[in-house]
Structure formats: structure tokens, C-alpha cells
Amino acid sequence: MVCRSCGRPDPQPFLDLGHTPLADALVKPDAVGRPEDRFPLVVAYCPRCHLVQITEEVPQERLFVDNYLYFSSFSDIVTSHGRAHADNLVETRGLGADSLVVELASNDGYLLRRFLDAGVPVLGIDPAPDQAAAAIAQGVPTLTEFFGIAMAERLRSNGTGADVIIANNVMAHVPDLNGFVAGMAHLLNEDGLITVENPTVQDLIDHGEFDTVYHEHFCYYSCLSVDALVRRHGLFLNDVEYFPELHGGTLRWYIEKRDAPTERLAERLAHERQAGLDDFAYYADFGDRVEGIKADLLALLRDLADQGRTVAGYGAAAKGATLLNSVGIGTDLVAWVVDRNTHKQGLHMPGTNQEIRDPAVLLTDAPDHVLLLAWNHIAEIRVQQEEYLARGGRFIVPVPTPKVL
Ligand code: JHZ
Ligand code: ZN
């Protein structure tokens, strides 16, 4: 393969998670036990533009149209983080009735709804049919399509231009990166602003977050790789903010058509160079470290099973599917999983078959331990599960080091 950003041949592989099923391809009860499609999951580094990426390319329709039940609104911290950003943009950009905010991967519309409530026109774009329908149902105009340069040209020729483009947790999800960024550049008004958010590759590596690798995530970004990517399309990375608690460590990048880098960005770029994110050596031993985490987690769970302890999982997250499958955690070690997303309840985890149940069963069935598959939401889950913990239930976190809390 060639690098998805700069086209250099043969990015250098450093992590192989084997063949895994698609992380969001939850299984209907009557299909449990039938063979599931599996795809290689290998992560590689491009020494020219510093982009970390997976080598496999599963068709986007399979990932985000046929098998996608992620609804942003089931996470309170995610929605409040987004709403604060919206309020801030309305104020600092002076947005009003003549402005247009476009969101790529607008999901169920929770973020754009906030702009509408402030009197700012919006356009959502998201190919996931149920999420787009939910957005439309709450009054958020949404195009149920994949975004790219072709769509941007079509919108432009209809006279549409964006003052703000928001792309949260989507730039990692596109195989044709350059088409996506070219599309943003084409759609953005001359004095407009793009904000992009994604978990950072630095936190992935430093905190052993290997479970955030799955086929939906084609790319894993740093300021270095984003800078190289957007420059190719006449855009400039000018500012950055860091949210250490969001999705295991998220960066928000501010991108414009003018070249005006802030001190804060310069510091972050220097920090990434100092850490070695522009050198393969930084990534080289990650595969071995992941093998260690996997072995420790398996030993911990086997030990609990030997002691007759019951273990459930919290969060039918995509990262949960990677964790269960790459470690090899069957229903003998984690019996079932809970998730408050009602669209996921009643289905089963891909590959490892755990049934997905309502979180209320943590009190009625009272497992001794709960493995936090959605460890990124620990603060929120802790508050919700106060009663389970008060009765003596224990949480287990899988990363950076598997441990019983
Ligand atoms: P969560 C998703 O990954 C998918 P996942 C996607 N590919 C992406 O890029 C990242 O997000 C950013 C549930 N839950 O957010 C909701 C509770 O049950 O870690 C979700 O099903 N109770 C777009 O799937 C799951 O857990 C709660 O209190 O790894 C968490 O999934 C909370 C807060 C969540 O993302
Ligand atoms: Zn490259």
C-alpha cells in the first residue's frame, strides 16, 4: 500500500492485532455462531509525513452504513464538550442568521442543534442512515451521504459556502484523506474556520490504547501529520487544544486558509518532535508492549474465573470489540456486556458473542467485577454505577495496565 496522506510506498508496520471482525458489526441473536468476516488489523507509520495508519481498507459502506449503531447522544461528557465548543464558536466567530455551519459526520445532530438554537443555520452530512434520520427528526437538515471533494463541488455550485466546518471523529474514518481535506478546502469560505477533533496517536502509544485501533479508524493523528496533510490543500494548521480526558486524549485542530500559527501550536509541534513522533523508533516497540498488556489482562481474567468470580463488561464500544477479539476474551471470561445505547441492546459482540444488556442488570445480576471496555467514559460510568460500587462491585480497567480498581 501507499501512505493515505503523502503517497509514499510501504509505511512501516509496528503493530499486528491479527484478523478481527468489524468492531461495530454487532451480531443479531439468530446469527450468533455463524462465521463472521474478519480482516487483518495492522498499524504502520509513514516516515515521510508521520501519519500512522492501518494497512487494510474495508469498504466504507460496510463500516458506516451497514453496521453502525454509534449514537453520540449516549455520552453526556461528549455532548457537553461539543455544546461548549458550539457556544464558543458562536461567540468568537460572531455567527448569526447569515452564517453557515457545516458538520461532517454530524451523527444524531446533537451538536448542530445547539447552533440552530442560537439562530445559526446549519447543514449536517452523515452517511449513517439511522443517525441522520434522528438528526432530521429533531430539525437538523442533514444529507445522508459520504463527504468528499465531489460533494463539496456540488454544494459550491449550488451556492453553498461554509463559515465554519466541524469534523469531530471523522478524519480518522476516511480512506480518501486527500479527497476529504480537498473537499473541506473547497467548501470553506475565504475567512472561514475548520475545527477537527481526533484522539491523538501520542496518547494511543504512551497509554497503550491499542484497543482504539479498528477498521473504522484508518488514521491516527498528530499535529505533525495534520500539518503536512492540510498544507497540501492550501490550508494551514494554526492552533490546537488538548483534552486529555476525552476518548483517551483528544486534540482539536484549528485550520484556516491564512497562515497564522499560534504560540500554542508551535509548542505542541515542538513537544511532538521532542517525544519522537517523527521517528519510527518511537513506535517500534509498541507491538511488544501491547503483547504484554494482552497477556496481563488474560492472566487477570483467568485468575478471577479460577476463583469463581463473575465478570461482565461495560460498553459495547468499538474499542471493546478490538480488546475482546485481540486478547481472546470469550464468554467464559466475560459473560455479557452492558451498554446504555438502546440500539445495541439485545445484539451480541462481534467475534466473541457476549450478549449486550441494559446497564440496570449490573444491580440485579450483580457480577463481582466489571471490565470497563469503554474505559474512556470512566468518570461518567462511575457516577452512574455508584450503587453497584457501593454494594462491593469492582471495576477493572484494561489499559494502560490491566488492573482491578
Ligand atoms: P465509545 C466510537 O468508538 C465510534 P467507541 C467512532 N468510530 C469513534 O471514532 C469514537 O467513538 C470516537 C456506551 N455508554 O464512545 C455508549 C454507556 O453505555 O467509547 C457506547 O455504545 N454508558 C465514531 O464505540 C459505548 O458505551 C455510558 O455512560 O469505542 C462507548 O463507546 C457512556 C458514557 C457510554 O466509543
Ligand atoms: Zn505519508
User: How do residues 243-255 score in pLDDT, each as one tens digit?
Assistant: 999 999 999 999 9
Same domain, 134 and 223: yes
- 269 within a domain of the structure (yes/no): no
For a ligand 1 pocket test, name from 68, 70, 385 the mutation site with the most ligand atoms within 8 angstroms of its C-beta: 70
For ligand 1, the distance from its centroid to the CA atom of residue 247, given in whole angstroms, is: 9
At 317 the pLDDT is: 97
At 337 the pLDDT is: 98
Same domain, 97 and 146: yes
Residues of the chain with pLDDT under 50: none
Number of domains in the chain: 2
For ligand 1, the distance from its centroid to the CA atom of residue 307, given in whole angstroms, is: 31
- 117 within a domain of the structure (yes/no): yes
**Residue whose CA lies nearest to ligand 1 atom number 10:** 169
Nearest ligand to the CA of 10 is 2
For ligand 2, the distance from its centroid to the CA atom of residue 10, given in whole angstroms, is: 9
Q: What is the CATH number of the domain that holds 316?
A: 3.40.50.720
For ligand 2, the distance from its centroid to the CA atom of residue 131, given in whole angstroms, is: 32
Same domain, 362 and 220: no
- 264 within a domain of the structure (yes/no): no
Q: Distance between terminal CA atoms of the chain?
A: 42
Pocket residues: Cβ below 6 A from ligand 1? 70, 74-75, 169, 216, 247, 315-319, 339-341, 344, 374, 376-377, 380-381, 384
For 55-84, what is each residue's pLDDT tens digit?
A: 999 999 999 888 889 999 989 999 999 999
Which of helix, strand or coil describes residue 254?
Answer: strand
**Cross-strand partners of 21:** 38
Element (H, E) at 338: strand 336-338
- 76 within a domain of the structure (yes/no): yes
Same domain, 247 and 292: no
Same domain, 228 and 294: no
For a ligand 1 pocket test, name from 69, 72, 75 the mutation site with the most ligand atoms within 8 angstroms of its C-beta: 75
User: b/e map of 240-250 (b: 16 or more CB within 10 Å)?
Assistant: bebeeebbbbb
For ligand 1, the distance from its centroid to the CA atom of residue 84, given in whole angstroms, is: 19
For ligand 2, the distance from its centroid to the CA atom of residue 2, given in whole angstroms, is: 8
Print the domain residue range for 336: 286-404
Residues with Cβ within 8 Å of 184's Cβ and at least 6 positions away in sequence, in order, are: 104, 152, 165, 167, 194, 233, 235, 255
Same domain, 211 and 295: no
Nearest ligand to the CA of 224 is 2
